[in-house]
Amino acid sequence: MNPHAVVVGAGPVGALAALLLAKSNVAVTLVERNDKLITASQASTFHPSTLDLLRTLGIELASDPDAVAVTSVQWRDNRGDIRAELDYRLLADLTNHPFRIHLDQQALLDRAAQLIAAEPAIELRAGVAAIDLNPARPSVTTLTNNGQRQIITADVIIGCDGSHSLIRQLAGIPMLVRNYPTVALRAHAHADLAALLPTQAPPPLSGLCYFRGNDDGVSALRMKTATRLIVRSANSQPDRRRVADAVANATPWKAGDLAIDRIDSYPLGRGVVDSYLSDLGSVVVVGDAAHVTSTAGGLNMNSGIHDAFAVMPALADWLHRRIDKSVVARITEARRQYLLNEVIPRSERRVRGLQDDDLHRFTTHLDDIATLAENCDAAKQFLIEASLLDTPLHDLPNETSQSRVLQVGMR
């Protein structure tokens, strides 16, 4: 009989975790409180490393008709002039996807749902919420929409239930989240921003452009039907006024010309669990349940997906008694250290001077980027790190294990 895992939460990370376990001959019960696989998150960046990993499951998001391929990153001043540009083609020898894409993550969930429906090793229980956990057994208590309770016992419980994870809390896994002094405002602009650039023959406006000027900044991420303008706010003025001021300060545009139909906001913070593994029993947390890195760069969702690809094959090997649990512990600790020492600092560097009011750091950052863009090796290294192509996946002791070392990006 194959081992059995319960995955709580069928967002992108939970759905992928279930598929990866099933590929390794683990029976999976996937518990999702919603009636279908759906997400309210607006995370929309998929990095080259993530696209490479998804391809191994037969998921090719770059071919989605709504995907916007971003082939370079630009930094522009408030006149619209380019200060620096980094071309993803520098990564062509490292990845099958020398670009990032902007696409609502629902597209990933829709594809994952098709694969789950075709996978006999996965039982999806939608409309079912996890309400209690016994980590020692281990088991979860679930509640259906019509009030029916059931206890599901398994060999391991995997919490993929988001940043407010009940599984993490009941498994006794500490996670301290520190909020940043700003929140992010996201304005949805429907005007053709490239056509509104004032220069006569501007270089094409990249799908990802950081505008800086007058000690302020706006990030412009082009989607299929709109451009998302991301602005930092200290909540000292109404959202629409703050967006208008930032656009006026940092870009060549006026907010009134951009056909902004709505503005939403989300908190910014950083936090990583003390351990992905519970001391109380066979419980593991990954994705948003294990970390929050919401500063900049679209790194948290991608890191969560990488968690699934790093941890699930090793977890399956442990369940099949091919490796010791200490190997799983090494892999999860490598993931944790990578987030603490690499991902979060990189994300924070993206918003120097915007989040900490250090104008010297703000100016220095722009100068550093301009200098970096002139050095091919430095530019390539920047893109490797921004794309998480150095993400740690496996650290297994031999080549015979089912959990092979997967070199992210290497063709």
Instruction: List, in sequence order, the alpha helices (H) in 263-358.
Output: 299-319, 325-338, 344-349
- C-alpha 101/C-alpha 103 separation (Å) is 6
Q: Is the pLDDT of residue 108 over 60?
A: yes
Mean pLDDT estimate for the chain: 92
Q: Is the pLDDT of residue 351 over 60?
A: yes
- C-alpha 103/C-alpha 91 separation (Å) is 21
What's the CATH number of domain 71-97+180-268+356-392, 3.90.550.10, 3.40.120.10, 3.30.9.10, 3.30.300.30? 3.30.9.10
**Residues 218, 205: contact at Cβ < 8 Å?**
no
Higher pLDDT, residue 408 or 351: 351
pLDDT of amino acid 403: 35
Look at strands 100-102 and 45-46 and give their pairing.
antiparallel
Mean pLDDT, residues 1-14: 97
pLDDT of amino acid 398: 41
Q: pTM for the whole thing?
A: 0.93
Which of 149-158, 293-302, 368-377, 378-387 has the weakest average pLDDT?
293-302
pLDDT of amino acid 362: 62
Identify any residues that bridge with 178 across adjacent strands, giving them in sequence order. Answer: 270
pLDDT of amino acid 197: 93
Q: Is the pLDDT of residue 396 over 50?
A: no
pLDDT of amino acid 235: 79
- C-alpha 212/C-alpha 79 separation (Å) is 10
pLDDT of amino acid 288: 96
Instruction: List, in sequence order, the alpha helices (H) in 262-324.
Output: 299-319
Mean pLDDT, residues 251-263: 97
pLDDT tens-digit readout, 123-133 = 999 999 999 99
pLDDT of amino acid 282: 98
Q: Which residue has the tokens 């603490």?
A: 340
Domain ranges of the chain: 4-67+103-175+273-355, 71-97+180-268+356-392
- C-alpha 159/C-alpha 156 separation (Å) is 10
Per-residue confidence band for 199, with pLDDT thresholds at 50, 70 and 90: confident
Mean pLDDT, residues 291-301: 82
Which of 97-101, 159-163, 382-386, 395-399 has the weakest average pLDDT?
395-399
pLDDT of amino acid 150: 98
In terms of CATH architecture, what is 4-67+103-175+273-355? 3-Layer(bba) Sandwich (3.50)
Tokens of 73: 């990153």
Backbone dihedral angles phi then psi of residue 77, each to the nearest 5 degrees: -90, -175
**Residues 133, 9: contact at Cβ < 8 Å?**
no
Per-residue confidence band for 284, with pLDDT thresholds at 50, 70 and 90: very high
Tokens of 167: 């599984």
